[in-house]
Structure 1
């Protein structure tokens, strides 16, 4: 669904700006990203059962560690004298890097007066939204393979936008019956989001330099101040040139790509 949505975003963008100068249009995402599927194809010598087991182990380790950490914080809240400061301190630590020290101090101060129940709900929504966002971005990162450190920087640079994007879907996903449908909408929307917070990936042979640069969100503050109809303003570079690119349906898309 992610790649189909990305192809649709590219085609819709080109049709919307068909009467404009091609040099002023953003580059295409779907064609080059599709090339990464063969680069990271599963090893034929590894059985499906082994790959499933490895994925389950990675999933269990990631969420098991979070569960243990949450349980430890919960137990610390029962300590005499200092227990009431544990959740506010955890909030400060969590949000200090994400929103800055002043805002984190406000959250810490509020946590001293807000009932524990609501503070736990607030923290739960934050961490659950982060987990949801990582799952939604998995189709992208399964193709463009960042190192662990690069991926950490990539998320940190875009943390505020990703949280705001995910928290709305996190609330709707919890709605009975329609939650599965909302998840599909969220995955499709993530394809559109990728075109706003990253540069189009180059051919796989040039991926190393691209990943080193793309972890930093260039023009971040300028982008966040743009009006909605100008969101592609900073996604234009002289590194691209105009040419025809095939999409997944076999049709030709007029756009620009890396040379």
Structure 2
């Protein structure tokens, strides 16, 4: 429960606000290259909006055609069809987020934005603590992480063609979308339908964060309307997918095994979900979604400095193993929001943490 308690979620949401504010203060965020990317992002947002509405326009055209022969003025089923179609498209299948992720995979990598933001976070930290004893300041993240190579990951991407990458991503999304649609359709089955979403919620959260949060979500799902449960579940899935993508520049450098990476996420699940949920909602906003994605990527650099220790030189496997568990978690969670920028936890030789 401690990995996903309300305090961890709230602290993650607070880090979203502070991280976004810090990212927007970075003058490099508004360079010419970023302005060009912003213009492209707006155009991409328009394209996403048009693609998303094509099926709805098609249904409207069919209903308009039927209306030539049958009066629909006093009927409500046509409105119900359009409303249901939009809900399935946006909430169950998460088509807007799918198109957003396709754009992020086929456009130039945001790795540079992450590293520039990390450098800015280091510079801001030094500036805020310029009157403090330098020996008590934390080590810098950017200079050391810059030494880490992403060459191996780039080689893997180069061996994969553009079409292969799109097909792989689409197949992964297709499997998840098919499962989501199947679960949603099962909710209409008599007698068992009302238990489908709570059971799916319990399975999902028990696997990710343990039985206590899963039990709470299950009990809540029994009393909440179906639409709210679907929206909550899909927001959770979108948040996980988004954070996995935003943390990619970090994991491209720091090479964890599959099991280590899984434990890394589990140990920080509450804070990561709290951090990602606001961005997960905002990236689905028409036109602004792709712009928000860039701010989210920049803000993730700030998050990294709060939930990890400063990196050791490349090749230090002991440091990588030590980073699997979040050792300074209680220090960060116990700080008031006004002191987040003062967070300066250090792991001492006897295992105690001081700030």
| TM-score scaled by length of structure 2 | 0.60
Decide which structure has greater strand share: 1
The answer to whether the aligner puts 1:168 opposite 2:292 as a matched pair is no
After superposition, the CA RMSD in angstroms is 2.4
Q: How do residues 72-83 of structure 1 correspond to structure 2 at under 5 angstroms?
A: 72-83=182-193
Asked if 1 retains the 8 angstrom alpha-carbon contact of 2:239 and 2:277, the reply is yes
Match of 1:22 among 134, 159, 172: 134
The answer to whether the aligner puts 1:12 opposite 2:124 as a matched pair is yes
Cα offset for 1:22?
1.3
Counterpart Cα distance in 2 of 1:38 and 1:49: 15
Cα offset for 1:232?
2.4
Q: Deviations over 1:164-217 (max 9, x none)?
A: 1111112222222222221111111100000000112211121x2222111100
- Summarize the Cα distance change of 1:10–1:52 in structure 2 as closer, same or farther, 3 Å threshold: same
- Summarize the Cα distance change of 1:35–1:54 in structure 2 as closer, same or farther, 3 Å threshold: farther
Match of 2:289 among 163, 175, 179: 179
* Paired position in structure 1 for 2:194: 84
Q: Deviations over 1:28-78 (max 9, x none)?
A: 1111111113553634xx894635455435423432332232233234334
Asked if 2 retains the 8 angstrom alpha-carbon contact of 1:154 and 1:214, the reply is yes
Asked if 1 retains the 8 angstrom alpha-carbon contact of 2:328 and 2:345, the reply is yes
Counterpart Cα distance in 2 of 1:26 and 1:190: 18
Counterpart Cα distance in 2 of 1:38 and 1:99: 30
Counterpart Cα distance in 1 of 2:219 and 2:240: 23
- Summarize the Cα distance change of 1:66–1:47 in structure 2 as closer, same or farther, 3 Å threshold: closer
Greater Cα radius of gyration, structure 1 or 2: 2
More deviation, 27-36/61-70: 61-70
Counterpart Cα distance in 2 of 1:11 and 1:164: 26
What SS class does the counterpart of residue 205 from structure 1 fall into? coil
Counterpart Cα distance in 2 of 1:10 and 1:198: 14
Asked if 2 retains the 8 angstrom alpha-carbon contact of 1:27 and 1:235, the reply is no
Q: How do residues 63-212 of structure 1 correspond to structure 2 at under 5 angstroms?
A: 63-96=173-206, 100-206=210-316, 208-212=317-321
Asked if 1 retains the 8 angstrom alpha-carbon contact of 2:187 and 2:197, the reply is yes
- Summarize the Cα distance change of 1:15–1:103 in structure 2 as closer, same or farther, 3 Å threshold: same
More deviation, 33-42/149-158: 33-42
Stretches of structure 1 that go unaligned for 5 or more consecutive residues are 239-259
Corresponding pairs, count: 235
Counterpart Cα distance in 2 of 1:21 and 1:191: 25
- Summarize the Cα distance change of 1:223–1:161 in structure 2 as closer, same or farther, 3 Å threshold: same
Q: How do residues 246-257 of structure 1 correspond to structure 2 at under 5 angstroms?
A: none
More deviation, 178-187/191-200: 178-187
* Paired position in structure 1 for 2:41: none
Asked if 1 retains the 8 angstrom alpha-carbon contact of 2:150 and 2:252, the reply is no
What SS class does the counterpart of residue 18 from structure 1 fall into? coil
